[in-house]
Amino acid sequence: MMNKIKSAIPSFITSLGLFSGSLACVFAIDGQLGWAGLFILIAAVFDFLDGIAARALRAISTFGKELDSLADVISFGIAPGLILFTLLEYSLFKTNQPIQTIEGKWYEWLILFSAFLIPIFGALRLAKFNIAENQTNTFKGLPIPANAILWASFGLMLEFQDHQELLKLLFTTKNLVFLAVVISGLMVSDIPMFSFKMKGIRWKGNWFRYVFLGITIILLVVLKVLALPVIILAYILFSILLYLLKIDF
């Protein structure tokens, strides 16, 4: 009985993440992008905890892996895609509205539908990850949670009135579509990116993780919520730099 309970705990945590991701979808559709971003971050926390629980309880299973991927498609694919869809609505029409009332030209609909590159390429990225055998300490392509945190941060940034002029410059239609294409491409690319799974607690073999953690803390203290997209950019660039310098990670 206890073994069944222990084996169910990681899946229960994954389900909480899925619930959070589903709420993020509802809020994103409703135009409440700050709440959508918050629940994506909560889903990311549960995604981190279910792996820890599975390893600690020795409850790693194929079922858990598949459930985790299905939850990730919702929380880190569809939810950020809907945030992008609403951001594109704002950039094109200056308002969030029910989809059946949108009166856009054919190219405006094409722009809106570019938001669904995020869940499509996110699902492709997860499929590649699930059949790979060498993505424990190194990822091939941008991990889908990093993609989600980026778009979640945009939703959260809209809640801070001090930076509205800056956000108007950043969240233009061209910038959003360009970023969607680049991030989608990065998710299915073969660019090596380091994992945050520690090789013990020693400095050796983990130094770049500690360095990146230090950079992350500094950015969060200085920039607060504005730090989140900068952190994702730093993660991508730092991974590429380590790869070019042929540093083992």
Q: What is the pLDDT of residues 51-79, one digit of tens each?
A: 888 888 888 888 888 999 999 999 999 99
The residue length of the chain stands at 249
Q: What is the pLDDT of residues 68-109, one digit of tens each?
A: 999 999 999 999 999 999 999 999 998 888 888 888 899 999
pTM attached to this predicted model: 0.92
Q: What is the pLDDT of residues 150-187, one digit of tens each?
A: 999 999 998 876 777 777 788 899 999 999 999 999 99
Q: What is the pLDDT of residues 6-65, one digit of tens each?
A: 888 999 999 999 999 999 999 999 999 999 999 999 999 999 999 888 888 888 888 888
